[in-house]
A and B are shown apart, each in its own frame.
Chain A
Amino acid sequence: MDRRSFLKNMGMAGGAVMLASSPWLSAFSETENTKKEIARLGIIGPGSRGQFLMSFLKKNAKVEVVALCDIYQPSIDGALKLYPEATVYKDYRKLLEDRRVDAVLIATPLNTHFQIAMDAFDAGKHVFCEKALAMTIADCYQMYQKHRETGKVFFAGQQRLFDPRYIRAMEMVQQGVFGDIEAIRTFWFRNNDWRRPVPSPELERHINWRLYNEYSKGLMTELACHQIQIGTWAMQNIPDKVMGHGAITHWKDGREVYDNVSCIYVFDNGVKLNFESVISNKFYGLEEQILGNLGTVEPEKGKYYFENVEPAPGFLQLINDIENSLFDSLPFAGTSWAPETANVNKGEYIIGEKPTSDGTSLMLDAFVEAVITGKQPEKIAEEGYYASVLCLLGHEAIEKEQIVPFPDAYKINYLNHKITA
């Protein structure tokens, strides 16, 4: 789905509830005015993820990738196939000195994100940083503060924030269609060793950096970020504490990070978000199940289900009208409603069709718009910050084998952490 049809389908113009639950979509409010503008980007770390991002940028006429930086030649070769004119750097600091570069995309191993991002902000660049943002909570905090001080645009690679089915699902959650949220269960199951082929042994740790403590926290930083963010998005709340456990149960191949983790995040009203990842059984795949007392959403599958009969759309409109002080006529279509016309509980597609893509393309388009206008879309940096911090907090709980409260020192002015005068 392209951006235009997405915006049309989601009814951007009238979607008050949608903009309330996903305010960063305002990034697209000036797309017409920026038609003739160009964002000049530098890609730092154009490996597999970096090239994947570049393949979407290539489709955006407002983008020029003017610079690349990597230390691994096969990555540079791959990236040059997409943008043959780009200047190649071996040292990212040289790329940051390139005055043509408006913004950087950081897709390097996790342990390098912090320094690159800090230097990029200092060099006056806008920053798109892959998730997780950094190796420690303190580093994430400094990155966020740096973004606030410099006023430069800051995105984390949380593409679900731009995925139509997630946006629509969250709008429905905010409307109360599924009632009160009682629990959120998230899981990511795979059955593979999570390794990339290594051409020679000395490159093992550089290529399979996800498996070693020096570069990554494993499943908690590489997978959990996406799913835990769904919890704060749905609850409009940051969890108070987390407990968890991790172990290597299957892939005993010299890796240092766990292949089997489970964390429980607890919100202030007692609702819990579970995150579980096992990479030696793939039967249940991945999903974020939002469980309300009236219904359930599975945004990954793109479906929702009601516990019993679904609410009538005309009455939901009535509630919205009353909340918005409107007095519109109510549609109660047709003649008699009969159970045969209702759906059996095989669920309904959130956006009326089977999902075909995630939000990566729109997320990058939004970043490009923000780079051109210089305007940070509302809440996007905050969602990215908390997604990373909560994953790292979960990792801390696993390491300590303790219930870890959210540290006051790292709360920012957002949602239930809002500073009240």
Chain B
Amino acid sequence: MALPVIHSMHFQHLYKQIYSNQSIFYGWFQAMHTRIDIALCRLDEQHALELTEKIYAEIKRVELMADRFNPQSEISTINRLAAVEPLPVSDEWFAMIEKCINYNRISAGLFDVTVNSLNNHKDGVKDIQLDPELKTVYFKHPDVQIDLNGYIKGYALDKVKDILQENQCNDALVNMGNSSILALGNHPNGEGWKVNVPGKDNEYVILANECLTSSGNKSDYRHIINPLTGIAIENLNVCSVITANATDGEVLATTSCIGAPELQNALCEHFNGIKL
């Protein structure tokens, strides 16, 4: 006997059985200050619901990790105490900071998780000291603050990809608030997934086991800051990139909005990405 279908309190969903071997599940919810939309193909409804519940739990976990406005989150603890003395952090946090420092280096400083430090403190990444033995993080300057806003959605999307692949869900489309889109496998009626390029009329790309990441200022709110000058960039164009994983996409899209063309090309090459 089939298990009863649960109706989750965490997300809403639609389910359509098209043929005996084809179905589409669509689930959506709000998290990380945006919306998350998930389409899963060829799963029975029960399986899709359970998988989406797992994804929801993981995204909420990552959201809390990086929530600067929640005093109990790990990022708040780090920002509060890492300048006092070397602070032991979780393996996951240690790896994440290590990765962000590396992204800063290869982007010649354009990707900078310390861009929102106190008192306009610049180049805060150089003030972050990691101890791989003790797994501690230390800020050498009291103004240094970490802000993962330009990174964490990509990070969460890569976690979603892991969950889907671990559960043999091979044909799926996941959209994190339109700025990061993960396409796995195929649309039921074609190869890959056809997605319009944001900000470009009548242009689409076909994504196959790839991520499309877009970055750009909104006309009423210029939120992308050039870390080298500390000034918000004026450019209103949307920069979109295709990469194998979403975290690389976040870095590449953000730096594409700021950096010189030569650097962009070098970064594309480094990440094996495509700039649209």
B-side contacts of A322, CB under 8 Å? 16, 18, 22, 24, 187-189
B-side contacts of A337, CB under 8 Å? 34-35, 177-179
The residue from A179, A309, A329, A335 contacting B178, defined by CB atoms under 8 A apart: A335
Contact code string B162-203 (vs A, CB < 8 Å = 1, else 0): 000000000001010111010000011110011110110000
B-side contacts of A293, CB under 8 Å? 7
Interface residues in B209-248 (C-beta closer than 8 Å to A) = 214-216, 218, 238
Size band of the B side of the interface?
A: 35 or more
Instruction: Check if A319 sits within 8 Å of B175, measured CB to CB.
Output: no
B-side contacts of A314, CB under 8 Å? 37, 175
Q: A322-B188, A334-B198, A335-B178 are in contact. Are A315 and B30 (CB under 8 A)?
A: no
Nearest neighbor of A321 in chain B, beta-carbon distance: B189
Instruction: Check if B199 sits within 8 Å of A334, measured CB to CB.
Output: yes
Size band of the A side of the interface?
A: 20 to 34
Asked whether B12 is an interface residue with its Cβ less than 8 Å from the other chain, the reply is yes
Instruction: Check if B28 sits within 8 Å of A332, measured CB to CB.
Output: no
* Complex-state Cα separation, A244 to B187, whole angstroms: 50
Instruction: Check if B178 sits within 8 Å of A336, measured CB to CB.
Output: yes
Q: A327-B187, A327-B194, A338-B33 are in contact. Are A318 and B216 (CB under 8 A)?
A: no
Nearest neighbor of A328 in chain B, beta-carbon distance: B194
Instruction: Check if A334 sits within 8 Å of B16, measured CB to CB.
Output: no
The residue from B12, B29, B190 contacting A327, defined by CB atoms under 8 A apart: B190
* Complex-state Cα separation, A312 to B30, whole angstroms: 12
Instruction: Check if B34 sits within 8 Å of A336, measured CB to CB.
Output: yes
Q: A309-B30, A311-B26 are in contact. Are A332 and B175 (CB under 8 A)?
A: yes
Please give the distance in Å from B207's CB to the nearest CB on chain A. Answer: 10
Instruction: Check if A338 sits within 8 Å of B177, measured CB to CB.
Output: yes
Asked whether A323 is an interface residue with its Cβ less than 8 Å from the other chain, the reply is yes
* Complex-state Cα separation, A67 to B207, whole angstroms: 66
Q: List 26 A-B contacts (CB under 8 A).
A: A176-B14, A308-B29, A311-B12, A311-B14, A311-B28, A315-B28, A316-B26, A318-B187, A321-B189, A322-B18, A322-B24, A322-B189, A323-B16, A327-B187, A327-B190, A328-B194, A330-B194, A330-B195, A332-B178, A332-B181, A334-B178, A334-B199, A335-B198, A335-B214, A339-B30, A342-B35
- B residues lining the A interface (CB < 8 Å): 7, 12, 14, 16, 18, 22, 24, 26, 28-30, 33-35, 37, 39, 173, 175, 177-179, 181, 187-190, 193-196, 198-199, 204, 214-216, 218, 238
Given contacts A309-B35, A329-B195, A339-B33, 15 further A-B contacts (CB under 8 A): A179-B12, A307-B12, A311-B14, A312-B37, A314-B175, A315-B37, A325-B189, A326-B189, A330-B173, A332-B195, A335-B178, A335-B198, A336-B177, A336-B178, A338-B33
